[in-house]
Amino acid sequence: MAGLRRWPSMLLLVVLGTATASEFQVPLVSQQESLNAESTIAKPLVNTSDLQASIKIENLVQHAKDLFILAQLSEPEFGHPTRVIGSDGHGGTLEYIYSAIELLGDYYTISTQPFPAVMGKVYESRLVIGHEVPESASPMSLTPPTAHKEPVYGKLVLVAGEGCDASDYPANVTGNIAFVLRGTCPFGTKSELAGKAGAVAAIIYNHDSGELSGTLGNPTSSHVATFGLSGKDAGPVVERLKAGETVDAIAYIDSQVKQIETRNIIAQTVEGDPDNCVMLGAHSDSVSEGPGINDDGSGSLTLLEVATQLTNFSVNNCVRFAWWAGEEEGLLGSDYYVEVLPEEENLKIRLFMDYDMMGSPNFAYQVYNATNAVNPVGSEQLRDLYVDWYKSQGLNYTFIPFDGRSDYDAFIRNGIPGGGIATGAEGVKTKEEEAMFGGKAGEWYDPCYHQLCDDVGNVNSTAWLLNTKLVAHSVATYAVSFDGFPERSSVAASNYNDKPTKYHGHRLIL
């Protein structure tokens, strides 16, 4: 199988259009014949030690370098490397992953799943309240622009309660700017109600001193240009409004929200019990601000490397790999996949494992605290598999909330046990964690999170390699047997759909 290691670089040339068909075809014929010959030879049943030993950091890093080059395809449109959905960089990423799996021969069946997606981009924004420009003002993701993409002027009108009912919006909000407290209902609902009440813009302010950045979610025709504002900046304004003072404001957003088509990639082993599937996923897209090599190039490439090395083995249970599109826009790909999944197919997925950000530079070894008490039964057993592995390696770990911030969300809401690991995003490392994992307390786990500097140099090789071995361990364990793992039942399919959460993806929704 040594020839497989030459494929990614040749694949990159083809994706970039710099290799001719004849240049690409000659080596692939011999490699494919080699694969077909190997497929006729009985392979050993996968075992965790051998699969882990096959994972090499050199392979992961070479993939990462290729991914960054693909992100550069977006420079003409965006002015910098990115793999956001709808960009040439993301299109190249999908082609790269699909081709790499396809060239593994008949070990996998591979398919794409097209779906409609919404992407938004804010080109420019400004908010003035009175004579002040609040530093915390931030346009909501998927906000429409202000009328004609020009500044709008109006008085701030304090909305009653938390702005979740049409009756909360007074008549004088028409032609003015709604000032709405965060809470109870999603930001999109507040923006829609403000629009229906005739407001020219809306400002949603936090109930504590912190900044507020979120998403309006699925666009509606009634949404208005909407900003988030910290409680610190909003506090004095609320006091003035409650005292009966008039506060003028100017809001300006130049943005675009449009619908595109993108696609998920699904690869499943041909062998293995199709009624008992191990499923794992990572997202193939980045934010528009940068190339996303850690977020989530690291997870996507971990899956690709494990999928490649798994071809050396046989499996008892089917293994299904998924590369989701549109995670950064609100878990669009994974939501769509589960939404259209028939119940009988849902029940064939014994568990779903999410791998997002495997190598943050200021890392902590994080395990989602998925308990059976509030999640589909089996989630806690998966959590404990990760814990036991870290302990067996003599490593520390820490639990993080299982709160809807990544692609596991749709699975647990539809009765499928879930979990995963991560290494940290914009959270701040504590002194205790510095002692446990090294790095630097007081700084983000990933100082380049959602920024242009999330490039190849932003990924910590030690954490990435170690966590990829843990991913291999999780795959090998359940590909062999689900002995002792809770059975699925049709009753569970609807029990968790109403689980409340503040997040849907990395953005706040309420």
Q: Tell me the catalytic residues.
A: 327
Q: Which of 374, 328, 322 is nearest to 496 (CA)?
A: 374
Q: Is 64 left (phi over 0), alpha (psi -120 to 50) or beta?
A: alpha
CB 199 within 8 A of CB 150: no
Residue type, 91: G
Strands 138-139 and 226-229: antiparallel
Query: Which ranges of 243-297 does DSSP label H, i.e. alpha helix?
Result: none
The three-class DSSP label of residue 500 is coil
Say which amino acid occupies 506: H
**237 CB contacts (<8 Å, ≥6 apart)?**
129, 130, 156, 179, 205, 247
460 contacts 425 by C-beta, under 8 angstroms: no
DSSP-derived secondary structure letter, 375: S
Is residue 57 within a helix (H) or strand (E), and if so which, with residue range? helix 57-71
- Tokens representing 229? 């504002």
Q: How far is CA 276 from CA 271, 309, 348, in A?
A: 11, 21, 5
Max Cα-Cα span within the chain: 82
CB neighbours of 404 closer than 8 A, spacing ≥ 6?
501, 502, 503, 504, 505
State the Cα–Cα distance between residues 474 and 243, nearest whole angstrom.
60
Amino acid at 211: E
Burial of 466 (0-12, 13-18, 19+ CB in 10 A): buried
- Name the token pair of 106: 């008949």
d(CA 493, CA 344): 10
What Cα–Cα distance (Å) separates residue 452 from each residue in 59, 76, 222?
A: 24, 15, 33
The helix or strand, by DSSP H or E, that contains position 152, with its residue range, turns out to be strand 152-158
Please give the Cα distance from 205 to 220 (Å, whole number): 21
Strand partners, 352: 279, 418
